[in-house]
C-alpha cells in the first residue's frame, strides 16, 4: 500500500464516507455523503484503488434495474491508514479551535430587554 502523497480535504471526505459505510459503497453514495462533485470523487476513488487503500468490484445484482454499480471497500491496511488520517484531521481541527482568539461581540447599540 502506497501512502497518499497529498492529503486534501476532498480526499479526507471520501475516506470518511467510505469508512462510515456498513459495507461496500458505490460512487453515487460517496458523492451524496460528501457533497463533492463526481469529477472530484471518482478520481480520488481510482487513486485510492491504485495505491492499495481500497478495492473495487462490480455489483452482480441482476434484479436491480439500471447500470451496474462499481462497489468500493477498504483493504485491511487502508482501513487503518484512513482512520489515522481522519484522527489527525480531527486533532488538527480541535487544536485550531482551541487556539483561535476569542473576539468580543459587537454591540448593536440596542438595549436588550426581557
pLDDT beyond 90 at 75: yes
Alpha carbon 111 to its chain's center: 45
Q: Which CATH class is domain 9-89?
A: mainly alpha
- pLDDT tens-digit map of 85-107: 999 888 888 777 778 776 766 66
What is the maximum alpha-carbon separation in the chain? Answer: 67
The model's pTM is: 0.80
Predicted confidence at residue 9, as pLDDT, reads: 95
Predicted confidence at residue 70, as pLDDT, reads: 95
- pLDDT tens-digit map of 34-50: 999 999 999 999 999 99
Predicted confidence at residue 112, as pLDDT, reads: 55
Predicted confidence at residue 66, as pLDDT, reads: 85
Amino acid at each position: 500500500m502506497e501512502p497518499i502523497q497529498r492529503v486534501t480535504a476532498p480526499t479526507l471526505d471520501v475516506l470518511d464516507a467510505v469508512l462510515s459505510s456498513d459495507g461496500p459503497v458505490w460512487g453515487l453514495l460517496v458523492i451524496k455523503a460528501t457533497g463533492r462533485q463526481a469529477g472530484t470523487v471518482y478520481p480520488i476513488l481510482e487513486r485510492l484503488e491504485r495505491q492499495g487503500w481500497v478495492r473495487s468490484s462490480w455489483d452482480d445484482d441482476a434484479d436491480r434495474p439500471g447500470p451496474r454499480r462499481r462497489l468500493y471497500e477498504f483493504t485491511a491496511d487502508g482501513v487503518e491508514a484512513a482512520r489515522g488520517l481522519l484522527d489527525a484531521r480531527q486533532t488538527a481541527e480541535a487544536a485550531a479551535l482551541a487556539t483561535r482568539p476569542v473576539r468580543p461581540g459587537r454591540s448593536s447599540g440596542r438595549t436588550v430587554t426581557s
